[in-house]
A and B are shown apart, each in its own frame.
Chain A
Amino acid sequence: MSVIIESTAAADRAGQGSIDGAISAARACLERAGLRPNDVDVLVNVGVYRDGNVVEPANSALIQLGLGMHPDYVAGSGRSTFSFDLRNGACGVLDAVHAATALLHNGTAEKVLIVGSEAHPGGVADTPEDFPYAETAAALLLARSTDPGAGFGPVRVGPAFGRASRTDPGVRGYLDLKAMGTDGRRTVSVDVADGYADMLEQAATEALTAYLAAHPVTVAAATLVVNNAAPGLADSLAAAFGFARGVQRTGPDAGSAGLGLAIHDLRERLSPGDELVLLAAGAGPVAGCAHYVVGEDGR
């Protein structure tokens, strides 16, 4: 059994907020796969920032609600959707893929939908110039495949720099409860460390080195697909490791949607047998990789 990306989608319209952005991307992703919302067994939201800083329920429940996906349990049906938020900055999508692989392998789920989206909690009107993330969303639908050569290889999201104490996380995104006053629904602080781009490249280099040592990939024939946490990261890593090419989105950091968007942008240009190494790097610092082979049917 292998696990493949059955379809992908992006939603780039600013002003939607993180919930509606994720709903748009999810809906497009399902339409492309010819599926209805009720066909999804597990919905994982990897988005980090939350509209209005609502911390309960999980964003995933609100996204599921917007999609009209199994809104209530129908007794005797044995069908439902389970949804949850998985949060690990830009790397959350790889952790979600790892978990989804287990769910699909065990038959716990037939279809797992992963959505990632970012938006400032206050919406466009309250987004300050220094908010580092683009308002954007991506969706990936994962399923089993009978094509033994296709799909994901091992997924590894390792701690960077051996978990040394006092490691600078690179990015700290938080709501200061002492300073928020009555503006807590419209504000969030995102502190980005000096030299964050270098820190990411170092973490990504470490992750990629460890991954390729454990799981040999013909890098000269493979494409390195990277989230856009720093400009030029994909090119720089592709050159250093000898990949055929490196791809990432241009423009502001798409946060948790970054890797999904890069995969989506590439989808139409892939051929059976193409090899990808998917890489995400972000706050922690943390970086991870997954090998992916495009199947006979181009997925």
Chain B
Amino acid sequence: MNAARLGALGTALPNTRFTTDEVLSRMSSGGSFEVERITGIRTRHLVQRPEEDTLSLGELAARDCLRRSNYTAADLDVIISAGTTVHDGFHMVFEPAAAHEIARRIGADNAAAYDVVNACGGTMTAIYLLENMVRAGLVRTGMVVTAEIISPVTEGALAEATDPRDMQFPALTLADAAVAILVDRAVDDADRIHYVEMMCASEFAPLCIAAPSDRTENMVMLTDNKAMQAAPRRETWAKLHRDLLMKRGSSFAEERFDFIVFHQLGVMFTEKLAESGEVIHEAPMPPRLRTVDKYANTGASTHFLALRDYIDRGEIPKGSKICLVPTASGMIFGVMSATIDSLVG
């Protein structure tokens, strides 16, 4: 039986950084929002289209990832692009798959390529697939490239959101970033993915919808934040994880995680997820990674952007055992457990 590991992690940020005040100063709707006070977001990076898009940021992150690995682009068996949307300049693209152009630009001449779309759960969905394909022996080396360009819906909110309880408030917390994660065969238990479990509670799919607006010339995202973040939804990841661990004859406490990484949605939200985790798992939560203040909510790239930030600051030693918890529109819930070594570099 093969096991997979997280072999390397690359990232790419848009060139321009904005403060929350700078973003909100462009509000043309007449609305007024306390984004920084409520979420803790101070700065964020936003793409300047058409120069920066899914393809350019995806290429940069993929190259960064390869540089940090022992592979060349030609070694890749598969590339999965996993952002919520694909932007080529001002075109939002449905076909061809973005992964083909990213593969072409980095010279991944031997790689199969396709896109996975699962809102903010895209990256973990692609890792779930790669982990399974490596474990089944169908793939040796694959890369997930998530260039998440979600600021177009922020533009929509700046043009349309007025009420403090507006369903477009969450769109004001978004930012752009790309991550690329190499998944290959594990050599030993000291550097491997232990498990990935994913599910969709589709009853809550209508709670967050992103689509073109019929009021202004923008993309918009309408989110029922209250329902999405209600207690039962905050507990789902933990219940799923608890049941999985029970099947494996283990418990959260016995797993001895060094760090836990939640979706960077706002400081309050991650703490509430952690609180629910403590209740369901009947165990204290390990230290949380927190980068929402400097990067905002970067959708499907958020977990690994946070990880890169902490690794670069020397906060995550080799051999750390991490628990990643995706929560996304759909609603997607999941958990991944991994001990990371090569990824730390």
Contacts and interface: CB of A to CB of B under 8 A. Distances in A.
Interface of A: 43, 48-50, 52-62, 64-65, 69-73, 75-78, 80-89, 91-92, 95, 98-99, 101-103, 105-106, 108, 156-159, 162-165, 167, 169-178, 180-185, 188, 282-286, 288
Contacts of A87: 94-95, 97, 114-117
Which of B105, B112, B133 is packed against the most chain A CB atoms within 10 Å? B112
Contact of B330 (A83, A158, A169, A171): A83
Nearest to A63: B202
B96 A176 contact: no
B205 to A, nearest CB: 4
B136 interface: yes
B104 A167 contact: yes
Which of A48, A57, A170 is packed against the most chain B CB atoms within 10 Å? A57
B217 A182 contact: yes
B132 A84 contact: no
Contact of A64 (B125, B205, B242): B205
A172 B93 contact: yes
Contacts of A185: 211-212, 214
Interface string B215-230: 1110101000000000
Interface residues of B, number: 75
15 contacts: A55-B85, A56-B209, A58-B118, A61-B330, A61-B331, A73-B201, A76-B239, A105-B138, A106-B135, A106-B136, A157-B114, A167-B104, A174-B91, A182-B216, A182-B217
B199 A82 contact: yes
Contacts of A283: 95-97
Given A80-B199, A284-B97, 9 more contacts: A43-B200, A55-B85, A61-B332, A62-B205, A64-B205, A70-B200, A89-B96, A286-B96, A288-B112
Contacts of B239: 73, 75-76
A103 B330 CA distance: 21
A114 B244 CA distance: 25
A181 to B, nearest CB: 5
Given A87-B114, A92-B114, A98 B138 contact: yes
B63 interface: no
Which of A54, A184, A286 is packed against the most chain B CB atoms within 10 Å? A184
Contacts of B210: 54-56
A174 B100 contact: no
Given A57-B208, A99-B129, A175 B97 contact: no
Interface of B: 84-85, 88, 90-97, 99-100, 103-105, 107-119, 121-122, 125, 128-129, 132-133, 135-136, 138-139, 152, 198-206, 208-217, 219, 221, 236, 239-240, 242-244, 247, 328-333
Contact of B94 (A50, A101, A167): A50
A284 B201 contact: no
B213 A102 contact: no
Contacts of B90: 176-178
B217 A73 contact: no
B310 to A, nearest CB: 27
Contacts of B333: 73
A48 B95 contact: yes
Which of A77, A162, A163, A282 is packed against the most chain B CB atoms within 10 Å? A163
A159 B205 contact: no
Contacts of A167: 104
Nearest to B214: A182
A174 B94 contact: yes
A254 to B, nearest CB: 14
B114 A102 contact: no
Which of B94, B109, B118, B136 is packed against the most chain A CB atoms within 10 Å? B94
* A-B CB proximity, top 8 nearest: A184-B212, A71-B203, A56-B210, A88-B114, A80-B199, A102-B136, A65-B202, A85-B117
A86 B115 CA distance: 6
B207 to A, nearest CB: 9
Given A61-B205, A73-B199, A82-B199, A54 B211 contact: yes
A174 B121 CA distance: 22
Contacts of A176: 90-91
Which of B95, B129, B133 is packed against the most chain A CB atoms within 10 Å? B95
A91 B203 CA distance: 29
